[in-house]
Chain A
Amino acid sequence: MAEHLLEVRNLSVEFHTAAGVVHAVRNISYHLDRGETLAILGESGSGKSVSSAAIMNLIDMPPGRISAGQILLDGKDLLTMPPQARREANGRRIAMIFQDPLSHLNPVYTVGWQIREAMTTHGMPAEQARSEALRLLTRVGIPDPKGAMGKYPHEFSGGQRQRVMIAMALALRPDLLIADEPTTALDVTVQAEVLALLKELQRETGMGVLIITHDLGVVADIADRVVVMEKGELVETGTVRDVYKNPTHPYTKKLIGAAPGKGEMHIAQISGEPLLSVRDIRKRYGSFDALKGVSFDLRAGETMAIVGESGSGKSTLARVLLRLDEPDAGTAHWKGRDLFTLSPSELYKLRRDLQMVFQDPTQSLNPRMTVFQLVSEAWAIHPDILPKRQWRERVAELLAQVGLSVEHMSRYPHQFSGGQRQRIAIARALALEPQLIVCDEAVSALDVSVQAQVIALLDKLRRDMGISFIFIAHDLPVVRDFADYVMVMQKGEVVELGTVREIFEAPREAYTKALLAASLDPDPDVQAEHRAARLKRA
């Protein structure tokens, strides 16, 4: 039997931490052949990145320790190789790209230097490395490759940086490319381009690709086979189609069930006066136009989704509406009064009606306050809402409402998981009994299964309490199940505004269509159609 390019056998890795020994991965095995793409699918804490770190010898020991197993590259065990041979395999035989290219590129050296180093380190003469680097930058589609050689990482956009990383990784035509969440931080349209580039390069070089992701859509788009991991264990493996169509393990089923974008769409009932009426908001930062005249209406109990990529101005809009930033022009009438002309004391009163839930609950909760302090701070700021002796009781009520319990009151945020923290943030917003909650990417940082739970919670609040939502997201499928209206933004302008059905089923504008086409579908068959359609158009 021919040897696999890569075979991981019964690998166990543990970490020694304050909370005792953590088994990051336990007894996992998988293999990968040339020309094949294997995806490792898992949520945070699943240990999906650990085996690849072990392959690259990137685990810090201590606190890490490989307690058992083998990693065979062409039949030779990497773990028992001498360090010298191990180091030489890196870059030459196995290469890796990472989630966050900005921090993974050295900020103080030019990208040309960094790509050249990948080659000179393995003995290529400097002159040859220079011309190769230029060829690679051209190949991965960096504009003006000659000029780009002398630029520093911070001078590129996120997508371009990932292309630079890919150029660097492929410099010596490795047999195996490991891609750890390579597109997670990128806009959907850029993500589609980067994945297509990876696919092309794989066809050219015949390398095996090991892709690590939390996103079923990425798996459907690029992988041949998939292994599913949960809490350090491998729970399911098979071809992408088999696993998606006939999942056997309950965790896989839950994961597939939680993928957004499959539920019933809302049908908006148009009635009543607008609660919030926004007209022609403009905002500049220096010479950059963040908002170029944005207008929309929102009625009580409605949900408006604002979708756009980075630089679209969607977050600026949220900040302006909540008066965290001052607009340059425009009006926003809240029940007939312009938010932008309120005096400080009027604004203070109005804060009760308008609340916000931020993207990353780790950062939006003060790390040095307990849950009780966090939630009750609302009443310390607005004492007329609730007398102090009722605070404890009311915090308990709110916690119950968001699915947490009373004994959590004296804990600190870092003791909770990401999803729980977002629930605390929601409880805090509810404490002021608002009529409108602005959710700025409120579920983007969460795992898919947790995402679904939080959206279900928001949906329940909407129905029970009639709260309106402005729901900001970069991803269309997430808003499909939840929104009444969708507003698509690009470069500070409203591209298209319509009911959720209009946007998803009959988009009018090219940009909306492009966004829809670029968003990945978890169903491999549907995604294959998408890709074919996109290629035809291109």
Chain B
Amino acid sequence: MLSFIRKRSVASLISLVGLLVLVFFLSRLTGDPAALFLPVEASAEMKQQFRELHGLNDPLMVQFGRYVGDVVTGNLGESLRKARPALGVVTEAFVWTLWLAVITMSLVTAAAIVVGSLAAFRSGGFFDRLSSIISLVGASVPDFWLAIVAIVVFSVNLAWLPTSGTGSILHWILPIAVLFVRPFGIIVQVVRGSMIGALSSAYVKTARAKGVKAGPIIFIHALRNAMLPVITVIGDQAASLLNGAVVIETIFGFPGVGKLMIDSILQRDFNVVLAAILVTALAIFLMNLLIDLAYALLDPRIRH
């Protein structure tokens, strides 16, 4: 088990280096970082000063080395707008996004497993058809459109829920409900397909021959086997929540990392933008590692 974790970590580390390279060259993509990092109205003199200050006239490789050094020591520069370390600004926002993602994915996972399993058990039945239609529609709806419609209905017309902010529990309901729909639709379909496979497997036949009841057959024998492909999809969906809540956060004025990024781009606060990408990518790395661990926990064959 330990060697498994170590091997996975090393693999992730290599990917992380790739990420650093990309983020660095992203910031050099336009040719002149000074133009990018400074406000539009900056004079040529200021730009020159900026270049010297940050060593932008040095060879590219030297700059990259310095950048890596900075990243390792956690120095991601200052936020130009807020005059605070960019990393601090980003982590503050990231905590909000993380909560949103964790709550949503927990709800989605629990709901999708129950609905998908029951649909698979009586496949072709009424419940199966109903859940198929719901999950298909759910997987097809653009979340930002759903957000707009939800605001019109629940906030504007019915005035039940607030449109933006984070003040109370009520503020969380709409974003979570909107973010819930697509992953739920997708994961239900995967759970159902995987469960149908598991329920028709030979070991379920054995369990039936032993006289095991329907409940344990579904939730003990089949589900743990069926979870293996599901876990992968849960990971993908969680990752896209971590980085894809941009639109939803913008619409609901939710102070997460997605909104921070859009705002920072508009305000040309590029240290924050780069820090946000780095932090989100790190989070996704860690989550992928968790997914691999879950895999190994569920399936003894992978541990070896």
Point out residues on A near B: beta carbons under 8 Å: 56-58, 60, 87-92, 95-96, 98, 100, 103-109, 117-118, 121-122, 152, 154, 165, 168-169
Which residues from B are CB-within-8-Å of A90? Answer: 208-211
| A-B CB contact pairs (8 Å), 11 listed | A87-B213, A89-B211, A98-B205, A98-B206, A104-B203, A104-B205, A105-B206, A106-B206, A106-B207, A107-B203, A121-B213
Q: Quick one: which of B206, B209, B224 has the most chain A CB within 10 A?
A: B209
Chain B contacts of A56 at CB under 8 A? 208-209
Are A122 and B209 interface neighbours, CB within 8 A?
no
Known contacts: A98-B202, A104-B202, A104-B203. The answer to whether A91 contacts B209 by CB under 8 A is yes
Known: A103-B202, A108-B299, A117-B210. 17 other contacts (CB 8 A): A56-B209, A58-B209, A60-B200, A87-B213, A88-B211, A89-B211, A95-B210, A98-B206, A103-B203, A106-B207, A106-B225, A107-B203, A108-B225, A108-B298, A108-B300, A122-B211, A165-B206
Task: List 7 tightest A-B contacts by C-beta distance, closest first.
Answer: A91-B211, A90-B211, A103-B202, A106-B203, A91-B210, A96-B209, A104-B202
Bound complex: CA of A152 vs CA of B213, how far in Å? 23
Asked whether A104 and B211 contact (CB < 8 A) given A152-B300, A152-B301, A154-B301, the answer is: no
Nearest B residue (CB) for A94? B209
B299 to chain A: closest residue by CB: A108
Task: Given A105-B203, A107-B225, A107-B301, decide whether A95 and B213 contact each other with a Cβ distance below 8 A.
Answer: no
Chain B interface residue count, CB cutoff 8 Å, equals 21
Task: Evaluate contact between A104 and B206: CB separation under 8 angstroms.
Answer: yes
A168 to B209, CA, bound (A): 11
In the bound complex, residues from chain B placing their C-beta under 8 Å from that of A88 are 211
Query: How far in angstroms is the closest Cβ of chain A from B18?
Result: 31
CB < 8 Å: which of A87, A100, A108, A109 contacts B211?
A87
1/0 contact string of B196-234 vs chain A (CB within 8 Å): 000011110111111111001000010011000000000
Q: How far apart are the CA atoms of A56 and B206 in the complex, in Å?
A: 10
In the complex where A107-B300, A107-B301, A152-B300 touch, is A121 in contact with B210 (Cβ < 8 A)?
A: yes
Assembly CA distance A92 to B201 (angstroms): 22
User: Which residues of B sit under 8 angstroms from A106, Cβ to Cβ?
Assistant: 203, 206-207, 221, 225
In the assembled complex, the Cα of A88 lies from the Cα of B30 at a distance in Å of 73
A207 to B121, CA, bound (A): 34
CA–CA, A109 and B212, complex, Å: 15
| Contact residues of B between 263 and 298, Cβ < 8 Å to A | 298
B213 near A58 with CB under 8 A, answer no
Given contacts A108-B225, A108-B299, A154-B301, contact A103 B201 (CB under 8 A): yes
Instruction: Report the bound CA distance from A277 to B211 in whole Å.
Output: 58
| B207 cross-chain contacts in A, Cβ below 8 A | 106, 117
Contact A100 B202 (CB under 8 A): yes
CB distance from A110 to the nearest CB of B (A): 8
Taking CB atoms, residues of chain A closer than 8 Å to B225 are 106-108
A60 to B205 alpha-carbon distance, docked (Å): 10
Taking CB atoms, residues of chain B closer than 8 Å to A60 are 200
Decide: B212 and A117 in contact? CB cutoff 8 A.
yes
Q: How far is the CB of B224 from chain A (nearest CB, A)?
A: 5
B205: A residues at CB distance < 8 A: 58, 98, 104
B206 touching A95, Cβ below 8 Å: no
A-side contacts of B200, CB under 8 Å:
60
The answer to whether B301 and A168 have CB atoms under 8 Å apart is no
List chain A residues, Cβ under 8 A from B298.
108
**Whole-angstrom CA separation of A292 from B210 in the bound complex:** 44
Min distance, Cβ B216 to any Cβ of chain A, angstroms: 8
| Distance A70 CA – B299 CA, assembled complex (angstroms) | 42
8 Å CB contact of B208 from A57, A107, A108, A109:
A57
Chain A: CB-nearest residue to B198 = A106
- Complex Cα spacing A117 to B200, Å: 20
Chain B contacts with A in 45-66, Cβ cutoff 8 A: none
A118 touches B210 (CB 8 A): yes
Determine the chain A residues whose CB is within 8 A of the CB of B206 once the complex forms. 96, 98, 104-106, 165, 168
Closest Cβ of chain A to B94, distance in Å, is 35
Instruction: Say yes or no: B301 contacts A121, CB within 8 Å.
Output: no
User: How far apart sit A121 and B208, CA to CA, in the bound complex (Å)?
Assistant: 11
Query: Which residue of A is nearest B203, CB measured?
Result: A106
| Interface-central residue, A60, A104, A106, A168, by most chain B CB under 10 Å | A106
A63–B40 Cα distance when bound, in Å, is 71
A95 close to B209 (CB less than 8 A) = yes
Residues on the B chain within 8 Å of A108, using CB: 224-225, 298-300
A107 touches B299 (CB 8 A): yes
A113: nearest chain-B partner, CB-CB? B220
Contacts of B224 in A (CB 8 A): 108-109
- A118 CA / B211 CA spacing, docked (Å): 8
Please give me the residue from chain B that is nearest to A93 by CB atom. B211
- Which of B206, B208, B212 has the most A CB atoms < 10 Å from its CB? B206
User: How far is A57 from B204 in the complex, measured between Cα atoms in Å?
Assistant: 13
| Per-residue A-contact encoding for B32-54, CB less than 8 Å = 1, 0 else | 00000000000000000000000
**Complexed CA–CA distance, A128 and B201 (Å):** 30
Bound-state CA distance A169–B206 (Å) is 9
**How distant is A57 from chain B, measured CB to nearest CB, in Å?**
7
Task: Return chain A residues, CB-CB under 8 Å to B202.
Answer: 98, 100, 103-104
Measured between beta carbons, the chain B residues less than 8 angstroms from A96 are 206, 209
Chain A residues in 8 Å Cβ range of B213 = 87, 121
Q: How far is the CB of A156 from chain B (nearest CB, A)?
A: 13
- Give bound CA distance, A117 to B202, whole Å: 17
CB distance from B209 to the nearest CB of A (A): 4
A106 to B202, CA, bound (A): 8
Residues of B within 8 A of A165 (CB): 206
Report how far A118 CA is from B213 CA in the complex, Å: 11
- Chain B residues near A100: list those with CB within 8 A: 202
Q: How far is the CA of A40 from the CA of B34 in the complex (A)?
A: 85
* A56–B210 CA distance with the chains assembled, in angstroms: 9
In the complex, chain A residues whose CB is within 8 Å of the CB of B299: 107-108
Distance between A248 CB and nearest chain B CB, rounded to angstroms: 35
B221: chain A residues at CB < 8 Å are 106
A109 to B203, CA, bound (A): 11
- How far is the CB of A13 from the nearest CB of chain B, in Å? 16
Contacts of A58 in B (CB 8 A): 205, 208-209
CB distance from B1 to the nearest CB of A (A): 14
What is the minimal beta-carbon distance from A126 to any residue of chain B, in angstroms?
A: 14
CA–CA, A16 to B301, complex, Å?
Answer: 37
Chain B residues, Cβ within 8 Å of A109: 224
In the assembled complex, the Cα of A103 lies from the Cα of B206 at a distance in Å of 10
B179 to chain A, nearest CB (A): 31
Q: Tell me the minimal C-beta distance from A400 to chain B in angstroms.
A: 41
B212 to A121, Cβ gap below 8 A? yes
Q: Which residues on B sit within 8 Å (CB–CB) of A122?
A: 211
B76 to chain A, nearest CB (A): 43
Give the docked Cα–Cα distance between A95 and B206 (Å): 9
Q: How far is the CB of A94 from chain B (nearest CB, A)?
A: 8
A120 to chain B, nearest CB (A): 10
A177 to chain B, nearest CB (A): 11
Question: A309 vs B31: C-alpha distance in the bound complex, in angstroms?
Answer: 68
